[in-house]
Structure 1
Amino acid sequence: MGPAPLCLLLSLTALAVAAGLAAGEDEYTWPQRKVPLVRGKRTVPLSSPGFTAEAQHELRGTCGIECQSQLPRPSLADLESFLSYETVYENGTRTLTEVSLQDLEEVPGNEAWNATSGRRRRRREVYGTDSRFTIADKHFSTNYPFSTTVKVSTGCSGILVSPKHVLTAAHCIHDGQDYVKGVKRLRVGLLKLRSKRRKGGRERGGKERGDKESGDKERGGGRKERRKGGEGGRRERRRGRKSRSRRSVGDQQPSFRWTRVKQTQVPKGWLRGVGEEVAVDYDYALLELKRPHKQRFMDLGVIPSVQKLPAGRIHFSGFDDDRPGQLVYRFCSVSEESGDLLYQYCDAKPGSSGSGVYVRLKEPGKKKWKRKIIGVFSGHHWVDVNGAQQDYNVAVRITPVKYAQICYWVHGDSSQCRDA
């Protein structure tokens, strides 16, 4: 689908909100819950990575719907092993931090995370009509919520989760054995409006300087006339200011402003073997920027089931490879969900991996609606379903323990991460 008109996107959003209100306001409110505590036990140095892996766009042999339904519930020791994490620093050094998980038993509804809907899904990548929208309006693409989407220099997307942190997919920086090429000099690109460079500036500068004196005379005369003109002069000045403002905005075009990454953090269990398949339930990573940005970011959120959302709908934006330099937005309904994954048919292409999946719900006790990130788009996966290899689009959902870990990475203090 081509560039999306602003009025169309706003209409679609309004329809989704109206559907939610029709079904009952209380049903579509961000749940309030306590999350467990993730605390670092010890940190040990590791040898420096080789940065030799090739970036991956598809993961094959992934533990899919049937496999997920048969996985045993992880023990506390399993979770602590999965959540232990590596940190790679800007100078190429690396550490491993072992963690402890506390207050897990106090999390309400923890047993619900291993449930699956059990419905059959259809196969979908991009078939028939492409349902993606290119955000062509330069002011729309550089304003919230689309401005939270960033480009990662290894070829993926990400989302801003703090003034200096970006959430993305783990496979965008690691292949399970080594870090991908370019991670040592990893960068993040934020879309910003910048003024066009003018050609022939020197010539125009001379002309402008030459015109300045006559312009001063004209402006001087104009001031006298406007003083005499009263209200007419004020209207003329207002029109002049609006015209200059329109010209200034019209000269600006969105482009990437790149920032170096100070360090990356990846959970140890992001890619682990399950029989002959691999599980990617923890396919997420956090990038800390060398310099903080000044744009709005999006908070993390936890929901017990996507099926309880208005139309079960999720949203995310990314920089798909087939539309270079363009921000691409999509939304769709989730058809299947397990304790750690969301299966959906949002049209997507390589490059969108790592995008933040978000939904919009009401804040408790308020009439205000708020967007929060509930997952990370992992991309196209190939899995064994009923004895046949099939592909689907999958997102790693943010569960209470993942929320606790990411929040701990962001703040460095798990006491700030008790409420989701």
Structure 2
Amino acid sequence: MSPRKRTATGAIPPPVSPERLASLRGPLLSWYDRNKRDLPWRRTRDPYAIWLSEVMLQQTQVSTVIPYWERFLARFPTVKALAAAPLDDVLSGWKGLGYYTRARNLHRAAQEVVERFGGKFPPTAEQLITLPGFGRYTAGAVASIAFGEPAPIVDGNVARVLSRLFEVEGLPGDRDREATLWTLAAALAAGERPGDFNQAMMEHGAATCRPESPLCLLCPVRDGCLAYRKGRVHELPPAKVRAAPRKLFLALAVWPHAGTLLFARRADKGLFGGLWELPAVEVEEATSEAEALQRLSTTLGAALTLEGSLGSVRRQLTHRDLTLRLLRVSGGPRPTKSPAFQELRWCTPQEAEALGMSTAMQRALDAVPGHGAREDAATVAAAKKQAPGRPRRKVKEG
């Protein structure tokens, strides 16, 4: 039986019978007990550790998250330790994971847990969702897994499982479709072991009810799946149409002085918000080096001289095809502040390692000979000699 449509008042009536809910919950929990992956955050009920895993797993593969989760917990073992840490340290610990808004919200939420709740996570989704970065999914995951509250969750995997089980129509993001999925998830979570059941749904979507080549013959709830009965498994959910990534070109100032390089910290909002970088300005693909140099001079409030090009680095981000053009510059006097950035700082290579920096910017820094931090004649000559033939690096964002 498909879930019923909204009533005239906009409410969604109960979509399925208790008997059908039970026929799905039991087999999925049993399947999970037999097949769940041994992931480190599944060995704890510490809400801080569970929350950290859920935030890291957003837009990131499990295999990538595990070592980051372990290192981050070793560096910030408690929510109080995270709250007390400088934001720069938190961003540095997040380096390489991408989507840095997650790290900033993580830090802010930790501070609110300490300030508002005495360093202890509130046990309900209703309270958790008031914290920075806690959407409905994250609040439901932490409340159900750490505290056993029957709170629903809907991520991409769960949405796919529910769409097929109950033949839910509509494109991802459609308001009525999302409301129906959350209603179904809430009905299913209202039983024993809600945390395990929510994880069972996610695990089932990742391992069996996959986007492509779903393993229907191994599905523990195949008999109750409407899409399977009607031969619509490959139709549901329909694929979301994604816009082509926008091309974005940035010119970077590689400005060495006395063993240091100039770094700038971006505004908190926008691409790479709040992170450190080699000072950058947006340019067009056809922008000349002279024009790019002028824009950098204006942005930094300093008269710059072009010493040479160090080539380009490409990164494929989720929504952008990013090209970073590295221009080695000199100039004076050296700036210490700029209205275009939160902060300017001259750093040695060792000091730069501790900065919260995007993977794209780290790859750009890696392309600077000697990290660009030595100003001796041999380094300058080597850079100029190498620059014309330096290949463009094409790396996909991990």
- Tell me whether the two structures share a fold, i.e. TM-score over 0.5: no
Could you say which TM-score interval applies, normalised by the shorter chain?
under 0.3
**Higher fraction of strand:** 1
**Higher fraction of helix:** 2
What is the TM-score when the length of structure 1 is the normalising length? 0.22
What is the TM-score when the length of structure 2 is the normalising length? 0.22
